[in-house]
A and B are shown apart, each in its own frame.
Chain A
Amino acid sequence: MSKINELFDSELRVINVGLESFSKELKMQKKAVVHVEWKPVAGGNKKLADILNQLS
């Protein structure tokens, strides 16, 4: 059995990063999932991200 099929045969342990809707879908199917609230630096604002890069 290939590694990938082994994975799908085992109990999945999922960490979801970013879009929360993916974790909600899994929860609705009663699968254990840990959601990591991740956003790009400064919400993706390049000017602010550049400033932060020089200040921290």
Chain B
Amino acid sequence: MLKEKIEQANQEAIEKLLKAQPTLIGIGTAEKDIPGMDKKTILHAGPPVKWENMTGPLKGAIIGGLIYEGLAKNEEEAAALAESGEITFDACHHHSAVGPMAGVTTASMPVWIIENKAFGNKAYCTLNEGLGKVLRYGAYSEEVIERLNWMEKTLAPVLKEALELSGPIDLQTMIAQVVQMGDEGHNRNKAGTSLLIRELAPSIVQTSFDNQEKSDVLKFMHGNDHFFLNLTMPAFKSSLDPMEGIPYCTLVYTMARNGTDFGIRVAGLGNRWFNAPAEIIDGLFFPGYTMEDANPDIGDSVITETAGAGGFAMAAAIPIVQFVGGTPQDAMNFTKSMYEITQGESESFKVPVLDFKGTPTGIDIRKVVETGILPIINTGIAHKDAGVGQVGAGLVRPPMKCFEDALEAFAESVGIS
């Protein structure tokens, strides 16, 4: 009887996930649009974490966020304010939001607004700042704050008006296309960024802004291959959230890291996090950096793997092995092995080299614990010190403890000890 209930619940959950229709409907601001957000709340990636337990990149991003908001003038003031208890820190995931790397989201930041048209729920994410010294890797120098101001004052208003002219953009279809163009939606977003520019450019030129501003916006998007990441992430967040709270469901609807801990949430166990110390990423480092420089795994971007993209779709994004390490055969093997721990296959994201088989989707904690196969995650590596930025990219897996603890808690919740 119990086994049937679990099978039915998992089937219901996977159907919800596969039916999702994430759609880009506009751009808002965090304070106005994100539920429960205010001037003195700062959202971050991963499960909740206290200031004293945060690592360098997250602390640095919070310092930058407080300076950007005008709540502090410099690093010392910002750190003192962060320690004072006056600022509320909370997980993006508790506010229908996601954020890459540190994931820091503050009140004035513009955010993409995604609606899952199949269920009416929304998800939010900041706009991607680009590479180099950026807030999400913990940088907070003057150039970082200046860029954030330009994004608020120019980038977001131009894109907002362009979206009003173009109308909503169906992200499910767009992501399905980019998976066939060599993206996996996490660490490779070259095709997605290109398609987005192609979609928005005709409307951008029709906005009321001057030509220089329009040109700057297009150049900014063109200069950042990861611009589309901040759309795949909330698209997947909105697709997965309807799974929350389905009784008896053993599928994972959240995986996230805050640089200290890796956390997962299971559909049948509601909002409860199962955390364990985040791992160091095995990957390729940029010249001058080694594993010694790496911060433990950080960011909400693992929402892509949770939804059957990212590392789970690596066989569709074979060139990425030159960025994260390994061989084309490894990429194929990673995707194939993920079918061992998932409930179903995507009906939208198809892998050409696997005869257009759908990507493995819907991680089942039972299968992970039974087989010992952990989800494969394709990710960026942040420097452990605030302000340095990205130092490489690679592959990582969650700690098994998250899944074992979740399984024990699930057993307890259904009366098994």
Q: Which chain A residues have a beta carbon within 8 Å of chain B's beta carbons?
A: 39, 41-43, 45, 47-48, 51-52, 54-56
Please tell me which one of the listed residues B250, B372, B414 contacts residue A42 in the complex, with CB atoms under 8 A apart. B372
- Which residues in B have their C-beta under 8 angstroms from that of A55? 2-3, 6, 250, 366, 407, 410-411, 414, 416
- Which residues in A have their C-beta under 8 angstroms from that of B370? 41-42, 52, 56
Min distance, Cβ B134 to any Cβ of chain A, angstroms: 39
| Cβ-closest chain B residue relative to A39 | B372
**Apart from A48-B408, A55-B411, what are 11 other A-B pairs with CB-CB below 8 Å?**
A39-B371, A42-B369, A42-B404, A43-B372, A47-B408, A48-B369, A52-B370, A52-B407, A55-B6, A55-B250, A55-B416
- Which residues in B have their C-beta under 8 angstroms from that of A52? 366, 369-370, 407
| Cβ-closest chain A residue relative to B410 | A55
| Cβ-closest chain B residue relative to A44 | B372
Interface positions, chain B 356-390, Cβ under 8 Å from A, are 366, 369-372
Min distance, Cβ B272 to any Cβ of chain A, angstroms: 17
Please tell me which one of the listed residues A42, A43, A51 contacts residue B416 in the complex, with CB atoms under 8 A apart. A51
Question: A43 to B400, alpha carbons, bound, how many Å?
Answer: 11
- Which residues in A have their C-beta under 8 angstroms from that of B408? 47-48, 51
- Which residues in B have their C-beta under 8 angstroms from that of A48? 369, 404, 407-408
- Which residues in B have their C-beta under 8 angstroms from that of A43? 372, 400
List, sorted by A's number, 30 A–B pairs whose CB atoms are closer than 8 Å.
A39-B371, A41-B370, A42-B369, A42-B372, A42-B404, A43-B372, A45-B404, A47-B408, A48-B404, A48-B407, A48-B408, A51-B407, A51-B408, A51-B411, A52-B369, A52-B370, A52-B407, A54-B2, A54-B411, A54-B416, A55-B2, A55-B6, A55-B250, A55-B366, A55-B407, A55-B416, A56-B3, A56-B6, A56-B366, A56-B370
